[in-house]
Chain A
Amino acid sequence: MNWSFVIANAITLACIYGTLAIGISLTWSSLGLVNMAYGFIFALSGYGAWLFSQHIASFAPLVMAAGILTGALGGVLVCALAFIPIHDKPNFPLRGLIATLAISLIGNQALLWQFGPRSKSLPRLFGTWNVNIFGVVLTADKLGAIVSAIVLLSLVLLWMRSSRRGLEIRAMMMNPHAASIVGIGVRSTGFAVMALTGGLAGLAAVLLAQTYYVAPFSGITPMVKGLSIALMGGLGSVPGAVIGAVILGINEALTSTMLGGQYVLITQFLLIIVILLIRPRGIAGILDKAREA
């Protein structure tokens, strides 16, 4: 068994899925919306990056930026369709869930219709070199994924801590009703949150496309994984999402080396079910303080 491989894989996957989970968690806690169209945003930004690299330039940072921008655009689209019209209507959480599911259905099928079922591959953004850190061999794409995910996530979290908009988003996470009373625009903040989380999905899509491919339905599995990490960490908690991502990354890497790749999802969901049965609001969630929805 190659432990260095296991650790490298675990960290990479934890970074990518953690990005997705933080996006889902942020959306849920600030808007009260479970964004089931996240897989569609993921696939859309993969295609955005692919189109950019095909037709405009294949310079790595630009391709990544194109993916992130497409993701942000997709997030804004989802917000305009599923949040703005119904966020003040009765039974919003359920209707929002179903609306995002419908957007996911429409979007994925439209991607299939437009681009066909054949998957596309992005150019290698980080080159093809290796680096050896304390005996752990990291390939370029893994190291690139880890570094860019951590850097961009820290930037986002810093921005959330230090900027005016971030303050508004955090206020919405604490208590959306009170936030709207003190003059924070629910709709404008909604657009900001969805653009931000869409950008995170775009980042994850570009990073994951280094190892996998871009396909119309490539977003479903990452979304389910991101959702389960967010769920396990406690919906609405960023540290919880990070812890969940680390646990699931370790689990995935361990299972694939010790039992075999086909058992990854099985052990993963069993782990999640056990954790949720012990702590119904996730690792970092507190039962009473969870968002009422």
Chain B
Amino acid sequence: MDRTAFEPTPEYGPAPPSATEAVAARTWIDPLSGFEPETPAREVPASAYLPPNTTWNETVAFKPKMYPVGRLNFFYKWPGHGGRLWWRTRYWPTRRRVLNIRGEYNRKTMRREKTILDKRPIWWTLTFLALLVAPAWVPGDAFNTVLSAAAVFGIYAAVNLCWMLVIGTAGIYSLASYAIVGAAAYGATYLAVQLGLPWWVLPAVGAVIGFLFGLLIALPALRLDGFYYALLTLGVVELCRVYVIQSRTFGSATGGIYGAPSYLPEGLSQSGQLLWGYYASLIVMVCALFLYRFVNGKRLGRVLRMAPEKKEAFAQACGVDYLRARISVFMISSTAIGAVGGFYASHFGGASPNLFSFDTLLLALAMLVIGGIGRSEGAVTGTAIVVFIDRVMIDWGPLRFVLIGMIMLLVVLFLRGGLFGIKPQFRTWRDKKKSERRASRSEKGGEMLPEEATETANKDEIYYRRFDKMQRDFLKRLVSKEVIEEHRTRPLGQHSEALDRLLIYFRRQGQIDKYAILVAEEFKAYRIVALSGHRGTTPRVVEDRTYGSPDEAYHALFMRRIQDLLES
């Protein structure tokens, strides 16, 4: 028999030994030699000792590289007794607390601790305080520019927040918001000029105009959806622009209609007027924020968010009257935008066709997109960024629009939810990477696949297979030239530990396809067969060789087993 054919070759041999696994040959002394002290002990070269739990330890070891930060959300743990949480005040008309604080008992430190779960109210408050005191820090030479820009920011932020109710909460792409502002501002100015209305009527007039306009554009929204509606509203904007440019009553000659009463008290200095305008716009923005919160965060917002476009049928099946919800949000949003339009007329003393231009629409959309659609903080921050670039960096000329466009393009290409969506997007990306790495780490040799495991009634089988796989991995590493040589010289009797482990494993296998030795002719011819494992079925002949002695046959059978082990 050609024994070298069964020697482990590098293709399917055991994994190359690591540094801990010493290859240095050592000798194994047969312990049974102690019974015959006269003769020298039988010594057999053997490979180094390999602890049997090696594979287990390697399998369960935690290999991925760990970084100290960013795996878990970090919450600062505030000390203090949990019985009295800081703020339990609930503010009308909601049942919400001012700060959402969770109190818990830490079993390790044996103390109560508190966690602020939602820090956004803190950020809003800080931002609002900063906006209140901001005029004191504006440099003197830029005071006029910055403060008028800040007033524009307040008004635009208010419009964008109301618009966000339609685009973000309801998911209807209406592009006609600034047309509503324009219509309300034009109408309010016209009526104020004609009837001599005081300034505080203007927002109310604007609200009425906005309501009517909203009714007009809400009707097509019942029949059209998606882009068809967006493009239709784009057409409405263009229609308004052309009408206003050409209409003589609305100042086609003067480039707008002016003469609306201002809300500023008489006899203010210029900086006083600017400050007054700034704080008035800020109040408008805060009102819009409250409106956003009370529409988006309450029943209407919930209903609208569960009935987005293309899910109408599902919403209807759930008993949600989405048409009614959409019309009401349209009406609320348009009325509010109209009121802001009336304020706009009073703030700027009139209205210009610029409100209807394609560029205004683009910039407004940029404000929403940069901050993130569907978030009030996104609307406010996006407005701040765009208004700052547009109104303060005037020296840049047309390039500032290029800058806004670049920011918008980058945000749209790389971010899913605008600037405020970066955090969740990063978390999603990190989880994806983590699971990819985990998938690349897991090995499946001989183990059950998940779908197979669910089909198996005997769950022991799953764990048996897993154990068996690990054991085979370990036994593969025990196979060496020394072990084979030891078996060849003495197939029966006392063996070294490595060989013993291998043989015990081989003997323990099931009867099906187990190798056995058939005595063809005693002391002359032995053959290797494989048992069928079924009573009455004869063993099958594995090969057509015969072996001259039992030891030779034993060893050939052993080599066959070794080969099967290494190939598994």
By a beta-carbon cutoff of 8 Å, the part of chain A in contact with chain B is 28, 34, 81, 85-86, 89-91, 93-95, 97-99, 101-106, 109-110, 112-113, 217, 220-221, 224, 227-228, 231, 235, 262, 265-266, 269-270, 272-273, 276-277, 280-282, 293
Q: Please give, as numbers and ranges, the residues of chain B lying within 8 Å of A97 by CB-CB distance.
A: 227, 230
Q: Please give, as numbers and ranges, the residues of chain A lying within 8 Å of B405 by CB-CB distance.
A: 102-103, 105-106, 109
> What total of A-B pairs shows CB separation below 8 Å?
115
Q: Please give, as numbers and ranges, the residues of chain A lying within 8 Å of B236 by CB-CB distance.
A: 269, 273
Whole-angstrom CA separation of A35 from B295 in the bound complex: 33
Is the pair A220, B358 in contact by a Cβ cutoff of 8 Å? yes
Q: 1/0 contact trace for B183-217 toward A, CB 8 Å?
A: 00000000000000000000000000000000000
Is the pair A276, B362 in contact by a Cβ cutoff of 8 Å? no
Asked if B238 lies at the interface with its beta carbon under 8 angstroms from chain A, I say yes
Sampled A-B contacts (8; CB under 8 Å): A93-B226, A102-B405, A104-B362, A269-B238, A273-B236, A276-B224, A277-B219, A293-B227
Q: 1/0 contact trace for B384-426 toward A, CB 8 Å?
A: 0000000000000111011011101100110010000000000
Number of B interface residues, CB 8 Å? Answer: 40
Q: B227 touches which one: A34, A89, A112, A220 (CB < 8 A)?
A: A34
Known: A105-B366, A272-B232. A265 touches B239 (CB 8 A): yes
Whole-angstrom CA separation of A102 from B238 in the bound complex: 19
Asked if B34 lies at the interface with its beta carbon under 8 angstroms from chain A, I say no
Asked if B441 lies at the interface with its beta carbon under 8 angstroms from chain A, I say no
Q: Please give, as numbers and ranges, the residues of chain B lying within 8 Å of A217 by CB-CB distance.
A: 358
User: What is the CB-to-nearest-CB distance from B504 to chain A, in angstroms, rounded to a whole number?
Assistant: 54
Whole-angstrom CA separation of A103 from B407 in the bound complex: 11
Complex: chain A residue closest to B219, CB-CB: A277
Complex: chain A residue closest to B217, CB-CB: A273
Q: Please give, as numbers and ranges, the residues of chain B lying within 8 Å of A265 by CB-CB distance.
A: 238-239, 242
Prevailing SS type, chain B contact patch = helix
Whole-angstrom CA separation of A228 from B219 in the bound complex: 18
User: What is the CB-to-nearest-CB distance from B389 to chain A, in angstroms, rounded to a whole number?
Assistant: 12
Q: B398 touches which one: A104, A113, A269 (CB < 8 A)?
A: A113
Is the pair A86, B235 in contact by a Cβ cutoff of 8 Å? no
Q: B412 touches which one: A102, A109, A110 (CB < 8 A)?
A: A102
Complex: chain B residue closest to A104, CB-CB: B362
Whole-angstrom CA separation of A217 from B359 in the bound complex: 10
Is the pair B412, A228 in contact by a Cβ cutoff of 8 Å? no
User: What is the CB-to-nearest-CB distance from B397 to chain A, in angstroms, rounded to a whole number?
Assistant: 7
Q: Please give, as numbers and ranges, the residues of chain B lying within 8 Å of A91 by CB-CB distance.
A: 416
User: What is the CB-to-nearest-CB distance from A99 to chain B, in angstroms, rounded to a whole number?
Assistant: 5
Q: Please give, as numbers and ranges, the residues of chain A lying within 8 Å of B402 by CB-CB distance.
A: 105-106, 109-110, 113
Whole-angstrom CA separation of A105 from B402 in the bound complex: 7
Known: A220-B358, A273-B220, A277-B223. A98 touches B369 (CB 8 A): yes
Is the pair B232, A231 in contact by a Cβ cutoff of 8 Å? yes
Q: Please give, as numbers and ranges, the residues of chain B lying within 8 Å of A95 by CB-CB distance.
A: 412-413
Q: Which A-B residue pairs are the 4 nearest by beta carbons?
A: A106-B405, A105-B405, A262-B246, A109-B401
Q: B235 touches which one: A99, A102, A273, A281 (CB < 8 A)?
A: A273
Is the pair A280, B227 in contact by a Cβ cutoff of 8 Å? no
Is the pair A224, B401 in contact by a Cβ cutoff of 8 Å? no
Q: Please give, as numbers and ranges, the residues of chain B lying within 8 Å of A293 by CB-CB distance.
A: 226-227
Known A105-B401, A224-B358, A265-B239; further 11 A-B contacts with Cβ < 8 A: A102-B405, A102-B409, A105-B366, A105-B408, A106-B405, A109-B398, A231-B228, A269-B238, A270-B239, A276-B223, A276-B228
Is the pair A227, B231 in contact by a Cβ cutoff of 8 Å? yes
Known: A109-B401, A277-B223. A81 touches B235 (CB 8 A): no
User: What is the CB-to-nearest-CB distance from B411 to chain A, in angstroms, rounded to a whole number?
Assistant: 9
Complex: chain B residue closest to A110, CB-CB: B402
Q: Please give, as numbers and ranges, the residues of chain B lying within 8 Å of A105 by CB-CB distance.
A: 359, 362-363, 366, 401-402, 404-405, 408
Whole-angstrom CA separation of A85 from B408 in the bound complex: 15
Q: Please give, as numbers and ranges, the residues of chain B lying within 8 Å of A109 by CB-CB distance.
A: 398-399, 401-402, 405
Whole-angstrom CA separation of A269 from B227 in the bound complex: 16
Is the pair A106, B409 in contact by a Cβ cutoff of 8 Å? yes
Whole-angstrom CA separation of A28 from B220 in the bound complex: 22
Asked if B105 lies at the interface with its beta carbon under 8 angstroms from chain A, I say no
Complex: chain A residue closest to B234, CB-CB: A224
Is the pair B416, A90 in contact by a Cβ cutoff of 8 Å? yes
Is the pair B239, A106 in contact by a Cβ cutoff of 8 Å? no
Known: A99-B413, A105-B362, A235-B227. A269 touches B408 (CB 8 A): no
Is the pair A98, B226 in contact by a Cβ cutoff of 8 Å? no
Complex: chain A residue closest to B414, CB-CB: A85
Asked if B365 lies at the interface with its beta carbon under 8 angstroms from chain A, I say yes
Complex: chain A residue closest to B404, CB-CB: A105
Asked if B173 lies at the interface with its beta carbon under 8 angstroms from chain A, I say yes
Is the pair A281, B413 in contact by a Cβ cutoff of 8 Å? no
Is the pair B231, A231 in contact by a Cβ cutoff of 8 Å? yes
User: What is the CB-to-nearest-CB distance from B255 to chain A, in angstroms, rounded to a whole number?
Assistant: 16
Complex: chain A residue closest to B406, CB-CB: A106
Q: Please give, as numbers and ranges, the residues of chain B lying within 8 Å of A272 by CB-CB distance.
A: 232, 235
Is the pair B234, A227 in contact by a Cβ cutoff of 8 Å? yes
Q: Please give, as numbers and ranges, the residues of chain A lying within 8 Å of B225 by CB-CB distance.
A: 280
Is the pair A266, B239 in contact by a Cβ cutoff of 8 Å? yes
Is the pair B413, A273 in contact by a Cβ cutoff of 8 Å? no
Is the pair B238, A224 in contact by a Cβ cutoff of 8 Å? yes
Is the pair B406, A224 in contact by a Cβ cutoff of 8 Å? no
Is the pair B228, A101 in contact by a Cβ cutoff of 8 Å? no
Asked if B243 lies at the interface with its beta carbon under 8 angstroms from chain A, I say yes
Q: Please give, as numbers and ranges, the residues of chain B lying within 8 Å of A228 by CB-CB distance.
A: 231, 235
Q: Please give, as numbers and ranges, the residues of chain B lying within 8 Å of A99 by CB-CB distance.
A: 409, 412-413
Q: Please give, as numbers and ranges, the residues of chain A lying within 8 Å of B242 by CB-CB distance.
A: 262, 265-266
Whole-angstrom CA separation of A97 from B173 in the bound complex: 11
Complex: chain B residue closest to A95, CB-CB: B412
User: What is the CB-to-nearest-CB distance from B557 to chain A, in angstroms, rounded to a whole number?
Assistant: 53
Whole-angstrom CA separation of A187 from B362 in the bound complex: 27
* Interface positions of B from 337 to 367, Cβ below 8 Å from A: 358-359, 362-363, 365-366
Q: Please give, as numbers and ranges, the residues of chain B lying within 8 Å of A34 by CB-CB distance.
A: 227, 231
Complex: chain A residue closest to B362, CB-CB: A105
Whole-angstrom CA separation of A104 from B246 in the bound complex: 26
User: What is the CB-to-nearest-CB distance from B153 to chain A, in angstroms, rounded to a whole number?
Assistant: 19
Is the pair A280, B409 in contact by a Cβ cutoff of 8 Å? no
Whole-angstrom CA separation of A268 from B416 in the bound complex: 36
Complex: chain B residue closest to A116, CB-CB: B398
Which residue of A102, A106, A277, A282 has the most chain B CB atoms within 10 A of its CB atom? A102
Q: 1/0 contact trace for B236-265 toward A, CB 8 Å?
A: 101100110010000000000000000000
Known: A113-B399, A228-B231, A280-B223. A98 touches B243 (CB 8 A): no
Q: Please give, as numbers and ranges, the residues of chain B lying within 8 Å of A93 by CB-CB distance.
A: 226-227
Is the pair A98, B235 in contact by a Cβ cutoff of 8 Å? no
Whole-angstrom CA separation of A85 from B231 in the bound complex: 24
Whole-angstrom CA separation of A9 from B369 in the bound complex: 41
Complex: chain B residue closest to A81, CB-CB: B409
Q: Please give, as numbers and ranges, the residues of chain B lying within 8 Å of A220 by CB-CB distance.
A: 358
Is the pair B408, A102 in contact by a Cβ cutoff of 8 Å? yes
Is the pair B413, A86 in contact by a Cβ cutoff of 8 Å? yes
Which residue of A221, A266, A269, A277 has the most chain B CB atoms within 10 A of its CB atom? A269
Is the pair B226, A86 in contact by a Cβ cutoff of 8 Å? no
Complex: chain A residue closest to B245, CB-CB: A262
Whole-angstrom CA separation of A282 from B232 in the bound complex: 12
User: What is the CB-to-nearest-CB distance from A31 to chain B, in angstroms, rounded to a whole number?
Assistant: 13
